[in-house]
Chain A
Amino acid sequence: MKNDTILLDHGSGGLASGELIRDIFLSRLGNPVLGQLEDSAIIETDRGRLAFSTDSYVVDPLFFPGGDIGLLAVHGTINDLAMRGARPLCLSLAMILEEGLPLDDLQRIVASIDNACRESGVPVVTGDTKVVQKGKGDKVFINTSGIGLVDEGLDISARMARPGDAVILSGSMGDHGITILGQRAGISLFGNLRSDTRALHRLVQKLLATVPGGAVHTLRDPTRGGVATSLNEIAAAAGVAIELDEDCIPVTPQVAAACEILGMDPLYLANEGKCLAVVDGTHGAAALAAMHGMPEGRDARIIGRVTESPPGQVVLHTAAGGARIVRSLTGEPLPRIC
């Protein structure tokens, strides 16, 4: 069976998404900046270095514990800028509304966007609105783009990871993914689970201000595809191996329990307020302390290290004392049968 149409898997953030980007988009539109496949592009100008990023938000349900589509749209683009070390300046906001959307819902979403912009200090400075016929959209789609400034000499990217680096995760995995799954399924077993959506630019600035210039090699927010897919992308881009210690990876008891029940692996679940930092190993402890000093990184842990070989491989040392390979996500995570 060869794929000749778009399937949901193509939007999963895993291997199928990567194949689509490579075969359809990069094959036509590829250029040295786009080809880096980073969270945002860095553009060199006479007046300084700009970071530029765009993302679209199609979450269902629109409102969920801990957030809504508006918060995600603001935080997501701020985070994509922050993951290159940029200081976000401003955002664009484009909304595609489906006929029949209650105005109350739209007001709630816009109020939420307003709050997120104020709290993060990043305003919306341009926008666009379109309305499509009932059935031609799914209530609300949002696109945000953002521009930020990057300090001279800063080169944070996936290909910069090198053997000896420490891999830090800024907090627990999978909170957003399980919250959304639980909402969709109408499962209320999991107590006070909330999405972790939040802006990470202040955490990144604190990190950059604490450890010496150049010691922060890679930053990624492990959204769709989860920590597993992000680490595979880093290992592939840098030609290094990554070893993880299951004992050290933070997962809340609620997420762990939900994953057991649904047959999910938290390594593959989406996060919206977490960052992976790959930092020169000699500065790992300082980087961790810097994160602990910020509310966004209170629960940060060193979860593993970068090694030399085999290039591109991510290995997990399990809590039980075994070891296994961790690959990129293949297909949307789906609940199992028994």
Chain B
Amino acid sequence: MDYVSEFRDKTLIAPLLAELKQTLTRPLRLMEVCGTHTMAIFRHGLRAILPPEIELISGPGCPVCVTASSHIDGFLDVAQRDGVRVAIFGDLFRVPGSQSSLARAQAAGAKVEIVYSPMDALTLAEKHEGEEVVFLAVGFETTMPLVAATILEAGRRKLAHFSVFSAGKIMPPALHALLADRELALDGLLCPGHVSTIIGAEAYEPLVRDYGISCVIAGFEPVDILQAVLLLARQKRDGRAEVENGYARAVAWQGNSRARQVMNEVFAPVDTPWRGLGMIKASGMAIREEFACFDAERKFAVRLPESIEPKGCLCGEILRGRKKPQACPLFKSRCTPMDPVGPCMVSSEGTCAAYYRFGEGR
């Protein structure tokens, strides 16, 4: 068992699809919250084999896509200062702010390094003692515990020339903000697998209670995704709305309390802007006062400008599930992965990038 191929096995997929067809009592509008789900659905061509009654809507679960342009502008402000070297995850490289991107800043001379772990940024700091190394942190509960651990480690190593610019976000407040929009009329959520490993299945119980929505946590392989869709269809057929864990091999009911503890030790909740969703209360992760010496925003006295969304770009509507990429006048004309206007086109996990790369499907 290699934990991949068996979850892509056609002989397992066929009976799931057959049962799904029998279970559907009416059309279902489901949101896949997580960008990795969006990409997996396209990559495996699942839209082509799902019954036409299932409408999949992509949600706000791509950390790069929901990073407000004001944060990107703040990142650029720091990256362009003398004596600074910034470290980023790869998908942040091409994301446009209101004027430029880190890729363009690098072409103009800024020092931008792509790392695979925030801890790699500490190694960079040790290598470049004469510079301030700043990790530009974008991510949800999945990545932010590791960012927190990196800050704690920087403290242990006494790295005074290392800091973090945090645009980290917490997922549940954004889901509350989305579901409060009754126009969206969702029948269920495919809850994110990676985030759920940290926050646990229990984190979705308030959503069920407050909005009566069915929540199923899904893994990222075709069998995982189809099974989660089937669980949601069964809930609808039976008139139930509850949290079910379809990814039990990775997600525990209580999640990972140690990771949350590290995250909460370093970060405190703060109101923060989400691209397309606006300001959401207590949904951001600010570096706590005790770690101010590792907070790039304070070190460089960054003032975040107001977010200016590109003219004509519908990323906001797309992130809220209100519009599909084809409805955007810029899609595939002014906005392509080569020259993206909005973040949904630039991130490898963005909805528009998925529609562009893999065909528009349904």
Contact = CB atoms under 8 A, between A and B. Distances in A.
Contacts of A318: 43-45, 222
Contact of B89 (A186, A253, A256, A337): A337
B114 A335 contact: yes
A125 interface: no
Majority DSSP secondary structure for residues of A touching B? loop
A226 to B, nearest CB: 13
Given A1-B96, A253-B2, A338 B44 contact: no
A19 interface: yes
Contacts of B107: 5-8
Contacts of A265: 43
B312 interface: no
Contacts of B143: 337-338
A132 B239 CA distance: 73
Interface of A: 1-3, 5-9, 15-16, 19, 185-187, 253, 256-257, 260, 262-263, 265, 316-325, 327, 330-331, 334-338
Given A320-B44, A338-B36, A3 B49 contact: no
A201 to B, nearest CB: 34
Which among B13, B46, B194, B338 has the highest number of chain A CB atoms within 10 Å? B338
Given A1-B96, A5-B104, A324-B45, A336 B8 contact: no
B240 interface: no
A260 B91 contact: no
Contacts of A319: 5, 8, 10, 44
B13 A320 contact: yes
A16 B338 contact: yes
A322 B48 contact: yes
21 contacts: A8-B107, A185-B116, A253-B2, A316-B45, A317-B45, A318-B45, A319-B5, A319-B44, A320-B45, A320-B49, A320-B222, A322-B45, A323-B48, A324-B42, A334-B91, A334-B348, A335-B89, A336-B91, A337-B63, A337-B139, A338-B140
A21 B140 CA distance: 39
A192 B179 CA distance: 48
B116 to A, nearest CB: 5
B184 interface: no
B359 interface: yes
B338 A15 contact: yes
A7 B222 CA distance: 36
Given A1-B339, A185-B115, A320-B10, 11 more contacts: A5-B104, A253-B2, A256-B4, A319-B10, A320-B45, A322-B222, A323-B45, A324-B45, A330-B338, A331-B338, A338-B63
B139 A338 contact: yes
Majority DSSP secondary structure for residues of B touching A? loop
Contacts of B176: none
Interface in B92-126: 92-94, 96, 99-101, 103-104, 106-108, 114-116, 120
Contact of A1 (B49, B91, B100, B120): B100
A324 B338 contact: no
A320 B139 contact: no
Contact of B138 (A2, A316, A322, A337): A337
A8 B106 CA distance: 9
A334 B93 contact: yes
Nearest to A2: B339
A337 B120 CA distance: 14
A185 B116 CA distance: 7
B161 interface: no
Which among A257, A263, A316 has the highest number of chain B CB atoms within 10 Å? A263
Given A316-B45, A319-B8, A324-B43, A9 B103 contact: yes
A256 B7 CA distance: 14
Contacts of B358: 324-325
A262 to B, nearest CB: 8
A232 to B, nearest CB: 12
Interface in B21-47: 36, 42-47
Contacts of B339: 1-3
B286 interface: no
Contacts of A335: 89-91, 114, 116
A330 B64 contact: no
A330 B139 contact: no
Contact of B108 (A5, A260, A336): A5
A9 B42 contact: no
Nearest to B44: A320
A322 B358 CA distance: 12
A337 B13 contact: no
Contacts of A334: 90-91, 93, 114, 348
A7 B116 CA distance: 21
B8 A320 contact: yes
A320 B46 contact: yes
A266 to B, nearest CB: 12
Contacts of B89: 335-337
B349 interface: yes
Nearest to A256: B4
Contacts of B100: 1
Interface in B328-362: 336-339, 341, 348-349, 356-359, 361
A263 B5 CA distance: 16
Contacts of A260: 4
Nearest to A260: B4
B142 interface: yes
Contacts of A7: 103-104, 107
Considering the complex of A and B, which 3 residue pairs feature the smallest CB-CB distances, nearest first? A322-B45, A334-B90, A325-B359
Contacts of B14: 321
Given A260-B4, A330-B338, A338-B63, A321 B13 contact: yes
Nearest to B222: A320
B104 A322 contact: no
Contacts of A336: 36, 89-91, 348-349
Nearest to A318: B45
B83 to A, nearest CB: 17
B146 to A, nearest CB: 10
